[in-house]
Amino acid sequence: MNMKSITTIVLSFLLTTFGIAQSAVFDIRKYGAPSGDITTAFGDVWKAACNSTGASKVWIPSGSYKMGAIVVKGPCNGPIEVQVDGTIIAPANPAALHDAYEWIKFEYVDFFTLSGKGVFDGQGAIAWNQNDCGKNKNCDMASMNFGFNFLKHATVRDITSKDSKNFHVNVLGCTNFTFDHFTVTAPATSLNTDGIHIGRSTDVKILNTNIGTGDDCVSLGDGCKQITVQNVNCGPGHGISVGSLGKYPKEEPVEQLLVKNCTLTNTDNGVRIKTWPSTPGTNPITDMHFEDITMVDVLNPVIIDQEYCPWNQCSKQSPSKIKISKVTFKNIKGTSKTKDGVILICSKSVPCEGVELNNVALTFNGTEVDAKCVNVKPIVTGKAPKCVATAAA
């Protein structure tokens, strides 16, 4: 037996043993697309791919496609990838999505990938103009672009989310989820369009990603653990935020966040932790680490705000009950649009503990920024603004 034959046998053994085989490709054009709206075709091609034996791939080639609200679910018989190389367009009228919480929802899938050079266009302008949440606590919420719910071992790679009506992405109840070279784009005036919101998920990574939107670039809800945000460009937007938290009584703790090698440009906030006052939530926030961050003309570069109350739609009669501890701001440089470039407003009922400012070199109009501190005594190492204690809130 020659060497070529031996190599072929070995490769065949490896493919069979470890399942490293080429995916079966399911072309959406064979399921009724393109024919105007592809909602039904997408549901049909997903079912066929999900039910096939072994790894499968749904392919949407280049072109422009319309699609309404849809939910696709697992479990599937093997790993499944959706490769989108075209542009998928949501209805412009929010009512056409029939109150769907998310426009496109993927649920209960293990080993899922969304990839390609495609664009998901939420056509959010009408929804932004109708948004009255600044005046109305009970405002109607428009649909988000994506819902990723209860996925394990998932990847979103190279895709673009454009002009969502609400949040671009909601990650809920997921484990081992990676965003890599993902793009979020919407104007600064697009209300409530958080880039990626994560809730009750473990081991989520956001890597090499560009987010420009009208709200938080990345936001963490309750129950998040082992979250990494690395090599992310944020702007416009409201920065990278933990919270807001504490509004509800059964929230879960948030712990183990690393934000590293990120650049924030012309954002309203930089890196931020925010909790509501006068609310029932009590679960702690701990092990938050913000490192190697560049701020470019950021309004509030470093902020802990335990009196978070947007649009003054809440009471500040009693302090937040959420304990914040083990927070590091390290190697943070750049420019602030305000003199108070570091704002640490902690709760008087549970003051922050273990907050460290390590080499925080921010300037405002060429001079070092100030640090405003309430109910916290930060550990200062290296170069950092002197923390001036303010009257307890």
**For 326, left (φ over 0), alpha (ψ -120 to 50), or beta?**
left
256: closest CA among 298, 202, 304, 218? 202
* Mean per-residue pLDDT over the chain, rounded: 92
214: closest CA among 236, 241, 230, 231? 236
- 3-class secondary structure, 15: helix
Looking at residue 17, what is its pLDDT? Answer: 36
Looking at residue 11, what is its pLDDT? Answer: 37
Give me the DSSP letters along 319-332.
Answer: -----EEEEEEEEE
CATH 2.160.20.10 corresponds to the domain 22-389: yes
pLDDT tens-digit readout, 261-305:
999 999 999 999 999 999 999 999 999 999 999 999 999 999 999
Looking at residue 112, what is its pLDDT? Answer: 98
Structure tokens, 319: 């302090």
Looking at residue 390, what is its pLDDT? Answer: 66
- Domain spans, the chain: 22-389
Give pairs for 12-18: CB < 8 Å, separation 24+: none
Give the residue numbers marked as catalytic: 238
